[in-house]
Chains A and B, each alone.
Chain A
Amino acid sequence: KAGVTQTPRYLIKTRGQQVTLSCSPISGHRSVSWYQQTPGQGLQFLFEYFSETQRNKGNFPGRFSGRQFSNSRSEMNVSTLELGDSALYLCASSLQGLAGGNTGELFFGEGSRLTVL
């Protein structure tokens, strides 16, 4: 069974540009979450999508957006990039939540490392 796949793995952008990151969840997983990881702030929750609907959103500005497609693949977009957006962006997939006896395990991809110059 293939794991969570994120593309691209590395990218460099300049301030003011925008970026789109992609995440393919494990087959059968309907929930996709995005996290930003930085040395100073650690892992911070961006948003979660389930069946194409945003189920939860973290405390990030509106420049950060996402969507989920009918095949559960997800994309996140950051517009008007700032230096502080440089981070590792991690995507995680899971079955469908804590209902039905699920233990809540998140399966993470290896991340997309964004550098903003």
Chain B
Amino acid sequence: GEDVEQSLFLSVREGDSSVINCTYTDSSSTYLYWYKQEPGAGLQLLTYIFSNMDMKQDQRLTVLLNKKDKHLSLRIADTQTGDSAIYFCAETPYGGSQGNLIFGKGTKLSVKP
């Protein structure tokens, strides 16, 4: 079945780069997304990448997509304490509509000062 997998925890020092990795199973996914969840809040879309792209850069965020390996990564440059949150990778499942995303279990990013 469809599944999205992520490591559960990542700890970095302020100013370093963070790399959060994700593997997905559905090669027909149109878009792949990264969402951020801060404590007590809902999810907020950080960035997305269309499946025919290899890379997307958006200020401090860089998304890399390897379709052959079904691997997606999110790099946060110059990580700040305010980046501490849970980061979710998500894909659109085969035959699903936009509202039905498959999420990974989330990677908790801790940024140490």
Contacts and interface: CB of A to CB of B under 8 A. Distances in A.
**A and B part of one assembly:** yes
Given A104-B92, A105-B48, A50 B99 contact: yes
Interface stretch (A14-22, A75-83, A90-98): A90-98
B7 to A, nearest CB: 13
Interface residues on A, range: 20 to 34
A88 to B, nearest CB: 9
Contacts of B92: 98, 104
Contacts, number: 75
A94 B42 contact: no
Interface string B76-111: 000000000000100010001111111111100000
Nearest to A110: B42
Interface in A28-68: 31-33, 35, 42-43, 45, 48, 50, 55-56, 58
Give the dominant DSSP class at A's interface: strand
Nearest to B95: A56
A3 B85 CA distance: 20
Interface in A96-117: 97-98, 102-111
Interface residues of B, number: 24
B1 to A, nearest CB: 10
B40 interface: yes
Contact of B98 (A104, A110, A111): A104
A26 interface: no
Given A4-B42, A110-B40, A111-B42, A104 B100 contact: no
A33 B45 contact: no
Contacts of B44: 108
Contacts of A92: 42-43, 99
B42 A43 contact: no
A104 B98 CA distance: 5
A33 B96 CA distance: 12
Contacts of B100: 33, 45, 48, 56, 58
9 contacts: A4-B42, A33-B99, A42-B103, A43-B106, A45-B102, A90-B42, A98-B97, A106-B45, A110-B40
